[in-house]
């Protein structure tokens, strides 16, 4: 065969390329290695009790009467409110459980309080006074920054006390929205929530004992930033419910029911911890499913009372949870309704 011309060579090459293309398309392509899916962020599913983790100062046998709350600062210090004893008010403990100091000027009737970082980057204590009927804002050192008098709440929302026969307020808890607005519950009286601006200006009131809320002792509340927009989550203690509301006051539904008189709550990540005054702590996920239950007490004579003596306390077993708080590591602190004062600690196991 004679050498092909340029035109013949081009035709042969083109035909060969076409045949190669057909063969290539008909062959099954090689399977590539699948792209690894990143593991989900490790979540806390277990907490271990830490017995005897606190050390009281010399001369103080017990913390003091507790009908209050607990909160943890960014520095990891634990703040607890006491209504009686040698150091009534707000005591501060290190992460290791050593007594550090009392917060100056803090009242001894903080039934519920929170530590909140404002937009100025500074942490403050916010709390309503149960007997004083006012809301106060303090620095962590105890300087009074703002006081919202009870008279800021319209008298039409006050309720007559069955013993004194006088109209008044029995404010039990508060929390702060991301924009600085303040929400306060009148949990021992009207079961209403009062809404204030960050400057302490009264805005509105919602909730209460009537439909659709039907609250029965709206004991404590928290701003639930797990959702967008944020919500209010509260414990209706007597009927065993945890409920969600919008910041505008719309009832969104039940988070949980049939709990053992839920008395306190706090969020951490996607978790909601609920302290039940009849002797248990329940942790729920964002959908309201039970993640864990801690400290369950099966001794009926020990739960729901402030009279259980220290000789009956058992490590990791709660008696009457009244306040709950997490530190940044996910460790859980539970303070109790107690004549003696007690904080239980459960360390997160990740």
pLDDT > 90 fraction of the chain, expressed in percent and rounded: 83
Q: What is the mean pLDDT of residues 73-87?
A: 97
Strand partners, 311: none
pLDDT, the chain, mean: 90
- Nearest CA to 220 among 147, 286, 170? 170
Residue 256 in tokens: 């949980």
* 125-149 confidence digits (pLDDT tens): 999 999 999 999 999 999 999 999 9
Residue 3 in tokens: 């050498």
The pLDDT of residue 35 is above 50: no
- Nearest CA to 345 among 290, 281, 299, 278? 281
pLDDT > 70 fraction of the chain, expressed in percent and rounded: 88
pTM (whole model) above 0.85: yes
The pLDDT of residue 51 is above 50: yes
Ramachandran class of 348: left when φ > 0, alpha when ψ lies in -120 to 50, beta otherwise: beta
Q: Which one-letter DSSP state was computed for residue 175?
A: E
- Nearest CA to 323 among 270, 272, 271, 263? 263
290, with CB counted inside 10 A (0-12, 13-18, 19+), is: exposed
Ordered by where they begin, the domains of the chain are 43-349 (2.120.10.30)
């Amino acid at each position: 065969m004679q050498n092909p011309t340029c035109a013949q060579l081009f035709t042969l090459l083109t035909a060969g390329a076409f045949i190669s293309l057909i063969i290539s398309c008909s062959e099954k392509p090689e399977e590539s290695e699948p792209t690894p899916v990143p593991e989900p962020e490790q979540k806390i599913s277990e907490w271990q009790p830490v017995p005897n983790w606190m050390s009281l100062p010399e001369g103080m046998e017990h913390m003091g009467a507790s009908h209050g709350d607990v909160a943890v600062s960014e520095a990891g210090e634990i703040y607890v409110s006491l209504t009686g004893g040698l150091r009534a008010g707000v005591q501060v403990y290190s992460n290791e459980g050593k007594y550090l100091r009392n917060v100056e000027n803090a009242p001894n009737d903080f039934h519920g309080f929170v530590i909140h970082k404002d937009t100025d980057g500074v942490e403050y204590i916010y709390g309503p006074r149960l007997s004083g009927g006012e809301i106060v804002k303090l620095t962590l050192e105890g300087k009074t920054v703002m006081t919202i008098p009870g008279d800021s709440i319209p008298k039409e929302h006050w309720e007559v006390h069955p013993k004194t026969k006088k109209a008044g307020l029995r404010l039990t808890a508060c929390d702060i929205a991301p924009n600085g607005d303040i929400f306060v519950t009148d949990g021992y009286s009207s079961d209403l929530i009062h809404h204030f601006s960050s400057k302490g200006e009264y805005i509105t009131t919602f909730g209460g004992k009537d439909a659709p809320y039907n609250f029965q002792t709206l004991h404590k509340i928290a701003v639930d930033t797990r959702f967008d927009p944020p919500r209010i989550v509260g414990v209706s203690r007597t009927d065993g419910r945890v409920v969600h509301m919008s910041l505008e006051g719309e009832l969104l539904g039940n988070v949980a029911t049939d709990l053992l008189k839920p008395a306190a709550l706090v969020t951490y990540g996607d978790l909601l911890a609920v302290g039940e005054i009849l002797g248990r702590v329940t942790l729920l996920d964002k959908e309201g499913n039970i993640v864990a239950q801690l400290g369950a007490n099966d001794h009926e004579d020990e739960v729901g009372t402030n009279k259980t003596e220290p000789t009956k306390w058992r490590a990791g077993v709660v008696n009457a949870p009244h306040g709950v708080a997490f530190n940044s590591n996910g460790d859980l602190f539970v303070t109790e309704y107690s004549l003696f004062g007690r904080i239980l600690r459960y360390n997160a196991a990740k």
